[in-house]
Amino acid sequence: MSHTEVLTIEKTLPSERLDTYLRGKFPIASRGAIQRLIEEGHIKVNGKTVKPTHTPRAGELVEVHWPEARPAEAQPEEIPLDILHEDEALLVLNKPPGLVVHPASGNEEHTLVNALLHHCRGQLSGIGGVARPGIVHRLDKETSGCMVIAKTDETHLALSSQFASRKVEKIYHAILCGELPRERGEIRAAIARHASHRKRMAVDEDMGRPARTSYHLLERLNSATLVEAILHTGRTHQIRVHFQHIGFPLVGDLTYGNRQNQRLAELTHYTAPRQMLHAYHLAFIHPRSGKKMSFAAPRPADFNDSLSALRLPE
């Protein structure tokens, strides 16, 4: 159902873009979706159409019109899903590594959305202007683990609100290059898009958004470390960027830790097939029942294989 929301910009943000600003206000929609809404005239500032690059200024009135969901371009595909829980409002699944979440250029088929369109047969939320995607949050293609999917717009909005207000518990297991010296710690470092590599993120205290990750050691490995990490914020590539920032990038992550992974391979004669990151635990309040729901996703086989290959001899 189409509807309009109005907000007032509280302070001028000279280094911000309108699309980026609205992405923070409406985490239910991707930045690409917000850009399309701006370009199609569904988002106006003081009653006028603007560009996605418009600089937010104090006192400006922003009208955001969410149009009726249009038919999804993605086609249903019968792809097996590892479902941890399902009811009339939502489902929770254990995403396998290698599965892309959204169709995009180069990955128009065989995605999680294609699988959900088949499994849910039209019972997915339409927030963001595209019919029945159901996606409330995302995991990288090579990251495995817990994801929650909304079947209704009401559920989508409620869950997105919990993510935005940091009420969702998100715990990951990660294998790091190197021997982490501390048993536990916390990383507070703002994250922004990389200045020259637009598909990467980077720590940037001037331009970045606040990000916080805490962690504790689970097991010491051969030239590597297994940790449990708690996401207190939800920035793109947060865990990958934060552990690179302190000098211990993820095993298998060639984007953020190519040099350290080459060194690990020299020391252990082992090369991981992907970044070793698994969304182990997810907890939230069910939008309908009001009860807290907690889920744990078993580690996939390749993650356990990496642990076996890197374990110290007894």
Name the residues annotated as catalytic: 140
Taking residue 30's Cβ as centre, other Cβ atoms within 10 Å add up to 17
Q: Which of 305, 297, 249, 299 is nearest to 273 (CA)?
A: 305
Q: Which amino acid is present at 4?
A: T
Contact 214, 186 (CB under 8 A): yes
Question: Which own/partner contact pairs does 252-256 have at CB distance under 8 Å and 24+ positions apart?
Answer: 252/142, 252/175, 252/276, 252/306, 253/277, 255/200, 256/200
HSE (CB half, 13 Å, CA atoms) of 1? Answer: 6
| Three-state secondary structure call for residue 96 | coil
Q: Which of 38, 175, 158, 143 is nearest to 89 (CA)?
A: 158
Residue 234 phi, psi (nearest 5): -130, 55
| Three-state secondary structure call for residue 158 | helix
Contact 297, 279 (CB under 8 A): yes
Residue 148 phi, psi (nearest 5): -110, 140
Cα–Cα–Cα angle for 307, 215, 183, nearest 5°? 80
C-alpha 98/C-alpha 14 separation (Å) is: 39
- 302: phi > 0 → left, psi -120 to 50 → alpha, else beta; which? alpha
- From the centroid of its chain, how far is CA 249? 18
Expressed in angstroms, the distance from the first to the final Cα of the chain is 61
